[in-house]
Amino acid sequence: MRAQIYLITPPDAEPAFASTLQSVLKGTEVAAVLIQRGEREDDAYLEVAKALIPIAQNAGAAALLDNMPEAVNKLGADGVHMTGAAKEILNAVKSLKPASIVGAGGIHSKHDAMTKGELNVDYVFFGHLAPSKAADEFTPEELADWWAETMEIPAVGFDPEQTDTKVRFEFRALRENVWSAQDPATRLKQILGAAE
């Protein structure tokens, strides 16, 4: 099985990053773009999101906000990625679904995955956007493989060192392995080409 691409923007991307994102998405198949918040304040993040949402959507990718469900409808995003407690995720599900996507991250164990997976989310994300202080029970790959084998809700696997899309889970998340390249657009095409 070949995983679809779930592309994560750099945590420090500015609105001008829109042109880079557009060039990377051109002519490639990317299922979703998570506009990562990083350390930004709300207003600064919203400015970045406003610039990047139409770029992702025009390329046929779902544009997802990072832990800001209240801005999904206002900005016309396709959904939100939530890494908080189960109660916060459930609130996002109740306010946004079924019209919008709600994904669950912040998972450190199989128990976390089961708990958040029961909240009617659209995907479960294994791996961490920021370095995590909590010790994980398994690697993102192991958790995503386990989840894909046993559950129907799609799994997203994020490991900054991995680019292989020939996996058992549904979505491969990419970030550093694309943006750190001298030519990110070529790098993404290489990753996609390696799976064919």
For the segment 140-150, the average pLDDT, to the nearest whole number, is 95
Q: Structure tokens of 170?
A: 């549904």
Distance CA 156, CA 7 (A): 11
Q: Identify whether the C-beta of residue 108 lies closer than 8 Å to the C-beta of residue 132.
A: yes
Question: Token digits for 137?
Answer: 């029970």
196: pLDDT confidence band, cut at 50, 70 and 90? low
In the block, tokens 């994560």 appear at 8
Q: Give me 169's structure tokens.
A: 């889970």
pLDDT of residue 131: 78
Determine the pLDDT at residue 70: 98
Q: Indicate if the pLDDT at residue 134 is higher than 80.
A: no
d(CA 184, CA 143): 28
Q: Report the share of the chain in percent with pLDDT over 70.
A: 98
What is the tens place of the pLDDT at every residue in 12-24?
Answer: 999 999 999 999 9
pLDDT for residue 132 is more than 80: no
Every domain of the chain and the residues it spans = 4-194
> What pLDDT sits at residue 195?
57
Residue 65 has what pLDDT?
Answer: 98
Give the right CATH number for 4-194 from 1.20.1250.20, 3.20.20.70, 1.10.3720.10, 2.80.10.50: 3.20.20.70
Question: H helices within the chain, ranges in order?
Answer: 18-25, 42-58, 72-75, 86-96, 110-117, 140-150, 176-179, 184-194
Given this model, what pLDDT does residue 135 score? 74
pTM (two decimals): 0.96
Residues 6+ apart with CB under 8 A from 28: 5, 59, 185, 188, 189, 192
Tens of pLDDT along 44-100? 999 999 999 999 999 999 999 999 999 999 999 999 999 999 999 999 999 999 999
pLDDT surpasses 80 at 133: no
Q: How large is the average pLDDT for residues 92-119?
A: 96
**Average pLDDT value for the chain:** 95
Reply yes or no on whether the pLDDT at 188 is more than 70.
yes
